[in-house]
Structures are given as structure tokens and as C-alpha cells.
A and B are shown apart, each in its own frame.
Chain A
Amino acid sequence: MLRVFRNRPYLLYLTRKAFWYLVAFVAAVALNFFLPRLIPGNPVSVIVGQMSAGAVESATLERLYTAFMRDFGLDQPLHVQFWTYLTGVLQGDLGTSFMLYPSKVWDVIRQALPWTVALQVPAILVGWIVGNVLGALAAYKGGTFDRFAFTGSLMLSSIPYFCLAIIFVYAFAVHWPLFPASGGYSFGYFPEWSWAFFVDALYHYALPFLSLVLVAIGGQAIGMREMAIYELNTDYVNYAKKLGVSDRRVVRYVFRNAMLPQITGLAISFGTLIGGALVTEAVFSYPGLGSLLFTAIRQVDYPMIQGITLIITLTVLLANFLVDIAYGFIDPRIRAGQVGER
């Protein structure tokens, strides 16, 4: 082992993690680059061809064609193309949008990203916290409470996000019009830092947020319950009881140790929940990445789709990395350099 890492297990852990995230990042960029090139033939003419099925003037098509040939750099060898793409990405250049030509993809995404982050991050975090408490309680109490909490959580977690979203819109926005049915803010408002806008946005926020949180609670509660039941049956819990340690403290041991894998669970949720959450946005026409993706797919806007998938990947990787850093701080086994991977 390198000398730098001697007696610095946490640094070793961090470096190893950072390396794997770098690999994942390059892999993700490569996927973003290569997969659209699987389209048989010249992707640009295919794309432009698909667009010409719509009512687009031929002069516009011509202009698009030249612009995208330049963007894609198709006349270059593949590795040069990839390099161009990679350096472009690193400089924040994700190409030009078809449907919103000549807007740059990044500029469009930059408008939508805050809405998505503001919706999903709190939803995942709240779902995670409430779900963990619920799961731990179910494991500890057992009996009827457990049966109800567990079956309820199973039900919540197995409902697809967007199904709950659809039912919510229909029930609480159409049938009983308590909340707005779509959008992130009312018509006539503009995103700005004002109290009125904030209240209006919050009003639009409630339903999508709730529909995301409920499903997240279910999944996390199941995971936590399983971990906590496992921990409750471990030797160290039995030993603590034999020593006459109080129940309250035993519960604290169990909760803490069951929590550790749940932190990794938090990282995983970022990656797996994002898909359903994107559709939820589309159901609510929420002005985030999900709705943008929905439209981009309808309009066959390749650069936009690619840009969105890339940004999603990056965000998820970043979130995962942050969680891993936190995890390394919390688990003494990593600080002491005992366990590398979990």
C-alpha cells in the first residue's frame, strides 16, 4: 500500500471511492456518446429526416443539418469525436436543441434543473427519514402495528410513483379541486424571489411532493424494518440484555447500526427513484427535467435527451459520492480502515 495512506484509512477509502466514481462518470459519458450512434446510418440525417416528417421548412432543415454535422463532428474518426464530446461536456457545452433551436441545451436544462432538485431532494430525504423511523418502530414493536405498517409500506412501495401521481391529480385537483392540477406556478406569475410567488409555488408543490414522499416512505420503511429485525437478533443485542443494559439503550444501539446500511440505501434511492420521479413531473407538468424529457422525446430532440440523461447521471453520481463521504465519517469501521466496501 502507498505510504500516503498508511494510518489514514479514511483517506484511502475516499480515494478508492473517488476512483470508482470517476470510472462511473467516464462510463456514463461514453454511454451517452455511443448509444445514440448505434442508430444505423448517419444519425444526423436520420434525426433531421425524422423531423422533416413534421412541418418544418426545408431551409430550416438545411441549417439544422449543417449545425448538427458540426456539433457531432461526424467527419472525424470516432475517438476524436469522443474527445470533442468529452471536452465539450466538461466545458458545459451539451450541444444545441432541435425543438428550441437555436437555444443551447445547457441553457434550457439550467432553467429546469432547480425545479427538479427542489422537488426530488426534499421528497427523498423526507421519505427516507420518515420511512426509517416507521420501519424501526415496526421492527421493535412487532405484532399488529408491525403487520399494518409492513403491509401498508409494501403497498405504498409497490405502487408506481406515477400511478399515485395520476390518482392524486384526479382526486385532489380534478374531482375535488383543492390543488392545482399542473405546473409549478400559476399563469401570470414569473419565477422571482417574492412572497406571493413563493406561496403560489408551494401550493403547486404540495401534490407532486406528497405523491413522491409516500412511495419513498414505503420503500425505506421496508428496508429499515428488515435491517432492524436482523440487528435485534444479533449476539451483541443479546449480550447487552444479559448485562442488564436498559431497553432504551439497546434500541439506540440497534437503530444506529441498522441505520448504517440505510445510508447506502439513501444513495441507491437517488438512482432508482429518479426514473419514476421524472414521470411524476410529467404527470403534473411540473417545469422540471421530467416534463422537459417528455417533450424532448416527443419531438425527437436528441441533443436534449442526451443532455438530460447526462445531467441526471451526474447529479446522481454526485449525490452518491456525498453520501459515501458521509458514510465514511459515521461508520467507525471505515475510519479504522477495516471495511472497504459494503
Chain B
Amino acid sequence: MELLRILLRSNRFMAGFWIVTAVLAFALLGPTLLTDVGPFQRVGGLFNPPSRDALLGTDNFGRDVFTQLMYGTRTSLYIGLVAGFVATFIGVTIGTLAGYASGVIEEALMGVTNVLITIPPIVVLILLSVAVDARTATTMGIIIGVTAWPWTARAVRAQTSSLRTREHVAIARISGVGSLEMMLVEILPYMFSYIFMAFILQLTGGILAEATLSMLGLGPFQTVSLGTLLHWSLLWESVRVGAWWAFIPATVFLSITTFSLILMNAGMDEIFNPTLRHTR
């Protein structure tokens, strides 16, 4: 609670938090409140400039960009969340196990983790996406999540092994608490803020990975995301013909979302990591 109170005083955290909330509201409520056309409905011709009918003009298929932006943000956030949850879950599980187990199990788990970290994630992402032929938003989120966990695992392991030497863990061990209960009760709760920060980073990474894959043409089928928006506008040369409304909104939304998430993270980092506070 004390920490929450400090968090509310952190300018960085609050700025990030409010922008994220605004983006979230736009994505969740926008489609019902702000538009009466569907994301795939044609409302005009190729790259119509913004007008009263279409606030942000139309894209290469003559669809309303403003509507697309809302649905696209929604999909991107959704994929990011799925990826964030999957990556954090796997990462925390493996990291806690490795940090708690020590010995051969730790060596093996961290060996796998370190090898996976060395292979550039985009490579695995591309190969997996190519292999899965019916990509929904959910499968994309899962694909991104299963390639992104090693970072979380590594960080969580370091935390766990330092927690393991703490007094309360030692006391629990002496009193004969089982390994599973130990991890769930004595270790995980103490890393909560840390895990939450890792989740925010994974969420950000997930949104970026979606955009990267979609721009390369490996986006989700039958749905619109910020990445697929950019993919089509790129393919139809909207940048070079100067149809700014087709790509600027998605670019700005992508940047703002990731920036505000990272801002939140930086704010939390300053509070949970007192060494980062400036003393000079």
C-alpha cells in the first residue's frame, strides 16, 4: 500500500498510466461509441483524404481509417496481452524453478534459456508464423509469448536465488515447508512488483513483435491490427504517394502505446530500485 502511494506520486508512472488508460478506452469503447461502420466496410475510394464522413480518410481498400485504428489498436493490445501473459507465465515458472532448484536442474534450465536468448527472436517468430497457417490473434499472441520468455526467466532466476538466502525462506525451510508451497508462498509474493514490471516489458515487446511480424506480412488473418494497417499502407505505397492519413495514425498510436508503457515501467523501476534514485 505504501508503495502504491509512492507510485501515485511518480510523475513518470502516472503519465504513462493515463496515456495507456486513454488508449485502452479508445480501443475498447471506440468501436461502439465513435463509429457506425465496420472495420472491413468500404466507405470510399482509394486513399480518400480526411473529410467529415471519414475523419482520417480511407485506406487502399476504401475502408475508414479511423474505424480501423480503433479495431487495430484493440487487436494489437490483445495480442500484446496474450503474449505478455504467456511469456511471463513460462518465464516465471522456469526462472523460479531454476533459481530454487539449483544444481543440475538449474544448469539444464538455464542452459536452454541461454541458448534460446542467443538465437534472435525474430527468426523463431518468422519460422513459427510461417508454419502455422491459420493465424488468429490468439495464436499470434501465443507464438510471440513462447519465443519471448527467456529474458523473464533469466531475470526471475536471479531474483529467486537472492531471495532463497533470505531469513524468512530459511525459517520456512527449517519448519519443513514443501518445495511447491515454498515457491508459491515464500518466494513468488516477494517478487510481485518485479514480475509485474517484467510483464509490462513483455506486453510492450508483444505489441512490437506483432507489428514487426504483421509488417513483414505474417500478421493475423481476418482481422485488423496496427501492424497489418501499416503492412497494407506500405504495400500500396501510401507513404510515397503522400497519403499520410493511411499510416501516420497507426505509427503514432504504436509509438504512444509503447512509450507510455515504458514510461510506466521506468517510474516503477525508480521506486522499486532505490539505487536508481539520484543521490548526487
Contact = CB atoms under 8 A, between A and B. Distances in A.
Do A and B pair up? The answer is yes
B197 to A, nearest CB: 13
A305 B280 contact: no
Given A35-B131, A175-B242, A158 B251 contact: no
A336 interface: no
A226 interface: yes
Contacts of B208: 160, 276
Given A31-B127, A35-B127, A229-B278, A167 B251 contact: yes
Interface in A165-202: 166-167, 169-170, 173-175, 181-182
Contacts of B126: 293, 297, 305, 309
Contacts of B215: 162, 279, 282
B62 interface: no
Interface string B227-260: 0001000100001101010011001001100110
A35 B127 CA distance: 6
Contact of A170 (B119, B122, B244, B262): B244
Interface size class of A (residues with CB under 8 A): 35 or more
A272 B120 contact: yes
Contacts of B116: 27
A38 interface: yes
Contacts of B51: none
Interface string A266-302: 0000111011101100110000000001100110001
A240 B204 CA distance: 40
A154 B259 CA distance: 7
Interface in B190-208: 204, 208
Contacts of A293: 126, 216
Contacts of A274: 120, 122
Interface residues of B, number: 51
Contacts of B263: 154, 158
Given A276-B212, A312-B120, 18 more contacts: A20-B111, A20-B118, A24-B118, A27-B116, A28-B119, A31-B123, A38-B131, A39-B131, A146-B278, A154-B259, A160-B254, A162-B230, A166-B230, A271-B121, A297-B218, A309-B127, A316-B118, A320-B118
13 contacts: A27-B116, A31-B127, A142-B278, A160-B211, A163-B251, A169-B240, A173-B240, A229-B275, A294-B217, A297-B218, A305-B126, A309-B123, A313-B120
Interface of A: 20-21, 23-24, 27-28, 31-32, 35-40, 46, 140, 142, 146, 150, 154-155, 157-160, 162-163, 166-167, 169-170, 173-175, 181-182, 226, 229-230, 232-233, 270-272, 274-276, 278-279, 282-283, 293-294, 297-298, 302, 305-306, 309, 312-313, 316-317, 320
Which 8 residue pairs across A and B have the least CB separation, nearest first? A275-B122, A35-B127, A38-B131, A158-B259, A271-B120, A24-B118, A158-B262, A297-B217
